[in-house]
Amino acid sequence: MSDDLREARRPSEIELGRRDFRRRQTGRSVAIAVVSTIVFAVIVWITIINTPGWSAVQQSFFDPATWAKAWPRVFWGFLLNIRVLLVAAAGVAVFGTLLAALRTLRGPVFFPLRALAAGYTDLFRGLPLIIVLYLVGFGIPGLRLSDARVPAEVWGTVALILTYSAYVSEVIRAGIEAVHPSQVLAARALGLSRGRTLRLVVLPQAIRKVTPALMNDFISMQKDVGLVSVLGAIDAVRAAQIETATAFDFTPYVLAGVLFVVLALPMIRLTDWYSARLRRREQMGGVL
């Protein structure tokens, strides 16, 4: 109803003039952006293909024949990366949330648990992932806990979970602390226990607040799953290494890289879109 009315009203001359000006401004900005982008791309392109070593680089990094030959093995390896990613993400979600919950416990009774969780996050946020991979992947099997041989990718997954849980728990903890105390008060007043309050009231709000940061950690983990190759698991990176060794050509690495980027793109775009939406909601009504 009100929309119809707004349609019917003809804007004043002043408003029409302003709109016309803004339209011309926008048109000019877009034109400048397009032209400058194209010019920049062309300059970069020309510079690269005119370097003395270009033809050699083209052959050893972008060779179509090697690409096609390496595809099956690298792609199979990549499926392993995806499996590791899915399991590790689930593990991090559970373990990271648990750690965050431990760190928010109040009262002197829980000091040992709180200190343990704090020590854990300090340790694993400081330790480079590749060192964790070596320690877990070669150290734990060295204990000879059982005779069965555990595949390298399993230890890789464990190492990823250990490291990323430390980061994710800090993000979730920040979210928990950003939930207003009055929400806890209201939940406890209804008779909800401490645990139920955390699960039904605090965590759902906390996760929503930190979703963009969690998505960023996920993207970061998407590419770090490639590191399980250092333990000998035949993933995309390891497969590319094998192919490179037979072809004497780095194209398989480029192929693996492209696969990782293609996997990450949807998540990256989704994160951008979601963050932008959150920002719009919080700044509703402003033009800045």
Partner 1 sequence: MTASVLSAQNIWKSFDRRDVLKGVDLDLAAHEVVAMIGASGSGKSTLLRCLNLLERIDDGRIILDGEDISDPRVKVDAVRARFGVVFQSYNLFPHLSVLSNVTIALRAVHGMSRRDADDEGMRLLGRIGLADKAHEHPDRLSGGQQQRAAIVRAIASKPAVLLLDEITSALDPELVGEVLALVRQLGDEGTTILMATHEMAFARDVADRVLFLDGGVIVEQGPPVQLFDAPQQERTRDFLRRFTE
Cβ proximity to partner 1, 132 vs 171, nearer residue: 171
Residue 215 beta carbon to partner 1: minimum distance, rounded to whole angstroms = 18
Residue 186 lies near partner 1 (rule: CB under 8 A): yes
Q: How far is 18 from 100, CA to CA, in rounded Å?
A: 52
Closest approach of partner 1 to the CB of residue 208, in Å: 6
Determine, following the binding rule CB under 8 A, whether residue 278 of this chain makes contact with partner 1.
no
Within 13 Å, how many C-alpha atoms sit on residue 87's CB side?
Answer: 16
188 binds partner 1 (CB under 8 A): yes
| Residue 196 binding partner 1, by CB under 8 A | yes
Residue 176 interacting with partner 1 (CB under 8 A):
no
Nearer to partner 1, 284 or 287 (CB): 284
DSSP string, 81-115: HHHHHHHHHHHHHHHHHHHHHHHT--SGGGHHHHH
Question: 101 near 258, Cβ under 8 Å?
Answer: no
DSSP string, 32-84: HHHHHHHHHHHHHHHHHHTSTTHHHHHHHHS-HHHHHHHHHHHHHHHHHHHHH
- Check: CB of residue 177 under 8 Å from CB of residue 104: yes
Q: What DSSP state is assigned to residue 286?
A: -
Amino acid code (one letter) for 109 = V
Binding partner 1 (rule: CB under 8 A), the pick from 65, 185, 262, 265 is 185
* Identity of the residue, 114 or 196, whose beta carbon is nearer to partner 1 in the bound complex: 196
What radius of gyration do the chain's Cα atoms show?
A: 26
Which of 183, 220, 246, 283 is in the footprint of partner 1 by CB under 8 A? 183
Determine which residue in the list 161, 201, 214, 230 makes contact with partner 1, applying CB under 8 A.
Answer: 201
Q: How far apart are CA 280 and CA 288, in angstroms?
A: 10
In angstroms, what is the minimal distance from the CB of 200 to partner 1?
Answer: 6
Interface segment toward partner 1; rule CB under 8 A; list 30-38, 116-124, 177-185, 268-276: 177-185
Q: Binding to partner 1 by residue 225, rule CB under 8 A?
A: no
Size of the site for partner 1 (CB under 8 A): 17
- DSSP-derived 3-state class of residue 216: helix
Residues 8-67 that bind partner 1 (CB under 8 A): none
- Least Cβ distance, residue 213 to partner 1 (angstroms): 18
Which residue from 116, 200, 270, 276 is in contact with partner 1, where contact means CB under 8 A? 200
Give the separation between CA 33 and CA 29, rounded to whole angstroms: 6
Q: Does 178 bind partner 1 (CB under 8 A)?
A: no
Please tell me whether residue 145 adopts helix, strand or coil conformation: coil
198 binds partner 1 (CB under 8 A): no
Chain contacts with partner 1 (rule: CB under 8 A): 182-183, 185-193, 196, 200-201, 204-205, 208
